[in-house]
Amino acid sequence: MVYKFAHLSDCHIGAWRDTTLKEMNIKAFEMVFDRCMEEKVDFIIIAGDFFESNMPDLESVQRATEKLRQVKDAGITTYIIYGSHDYSATKLSMIHILESAGLFRKVMEPQTLDNNRITLTVFTDIKTGAKITGMSGRALSLEKTYFEMLDHESFAELDGFKIFVFHSAINELRPKDLAHATSMPLSLLPPGFSYYAGGHVHSRSENKYGNGLIVYPGCIFGTDARDLEHTARKEKRGFYIVEFDTQVKKLKFIEMSPCEIISKTIDADKKTASQVQSALDQYASGIAANGKVILIRLQGTLSAGKPSDIDTNPAKELLKKNGSITVNISKFGLATQEVTKIAVMGETKEQIEEKLFKQRLAAFKLDPSIKDLKVRSFVSKLLIGDGGTTLAKDLVSVLRDDQKDNESKVIFEERIVGDALAKLKVDELE
């Protein structure tokens, strides 16, 4: 008998400050789950980052809970792992709370073996007999340590159709735009599984691995302007439906889009601020904007004038008047001849931050007065090399977190301090 399941990842429910994009994101998730019910899949796998944070805003949680309940009532079981966004090392996360309510099944349950290695509990789907296990993602890519401890032999006796769910980039499979992102070698994946349900990477890919497949569905909508720009350049967003018996029989990608996205880069090289202003206004007046998300990036080195001389408001107002559901015009890529030589190069704010962190950390040296070898080893591991850059980015992310609805100032401060301490891993020194 042939069964089928849905594989999706990186919903990031609760992402976006822009209320329109936030709505499009949650709408994309609802469309995916509605399609799963229409297709009458036997079960659903979510490979991490279901929520944007471990405790997302309650309105987003309510919308997600309603759809999870509909799917459960339709007789479809949802299996999930944590992603790096919705995982918390210090307190309960919303994933844990919704699992306690019976809305889905978290499939990562590690067990320590006598040889200090770990194995994972394997769950058997009652309806199909498929065997499912997995490894959650963690902040700072700490899941790599768990992968290195994973006892591959403990899975050798599994029979039937086997699914391994994970939330990590793979060195050999990562896309070019993630060439410098943290990832792990392919050899750390346990061999012998029929299907490897990947998450974390926001672009789609299908790859052979032994007798099985490693599949990344990508994000269902996206969490930043770069994701949306990729969508505008025909990067398909959606999820997979997989038909199987003892092996994969058919792999079908279902494209889902809650809105049309248009992206435009206006080249400012060797142009004056006035010329760029004219190009922007001309583009805005000539585009059919109704019902679309419009992204415009101004990029290059101005021959005269400053980025602040370019007024984006007339273009925004015109596009919104013509029916655009939201407009984003970025001037971050602009520079002037006077400041170009001291600019930190990078396409996005995140890339610029990362380069600044690397420059400062490259000069870091341990204080010679620290004699404790355990402390020296701990600090070196935490701050030197890529680990230091990752830590800096994660701490900035913690400090950027907003106070949540109905959260007192005291609780908010305690949460931020707790999250920062978790990133610093100070408990390892105890």
Q: What's residue 372's pLDDT?
A: 64
Domain boundaries defined on the chain: 3-255, 260-343, 351-429
Strand bridging mode 77-80 / 43-46: parallel
pLDDT digits (tens, 9 = 90+) for 198-247: 999 999 999 999 999 999 999 999 998 889 999 999 999 999 999 999 99
Q: What's residue 389's pLDDT?
A: 81
Classify domain 3-255 by CATH architecture.
4-Layer Sandwich (3.60)
Q: What's residue 220's pLDDT?
A: 97
pLDDT-wise least confident of 82-96, 161-175, 394-408: 394-408
pLDDT digits (tens, 9 = 90+) for 300-325: 999 999 999 999 999 999 999 999 99
As to burial, measured by CB atoms within 10 angstroms (0-12 exposed, 13-18 middle, 19+ buried), residue 159 is exposed
**Angle CA(32)–CA(36)–CA(40) in degrees, nearest 5?**
170
Global confidence as pTM = 0.77
Q: Residues 279, 312: contact at Cβ < 8 Å? A: no
Q: What's residue 192's pLDDT?
A: 94
- Mean pLDDT estimate for the chain: 87
pLDDT(348) > 70: no
Q: What is the mean pLDDT of residues 384-391?
A: 78
Count CB-CB contacts under 10 A for residue 122: 17
- Higher pLDDT among residues 336 and 260, named by residue: 260
pLDDT(340) > 50: no
Catalytic residues: 85
> Residue 283: CB partners within 8 Å, gap ≥ 6?
264, 266, 296, 315
Q: What's residue 165's pLDDT?
A: 98
* Distance (Å, whole) CA 225 – CA 331: 13
Residue 421's pLDDT band (cuts 50, 70, 90): confident
Residue 342's pLDDT band (cuts 50, 70, 90): very low
Q: Largest alpha-carbon pair distance within the chain? A: 71
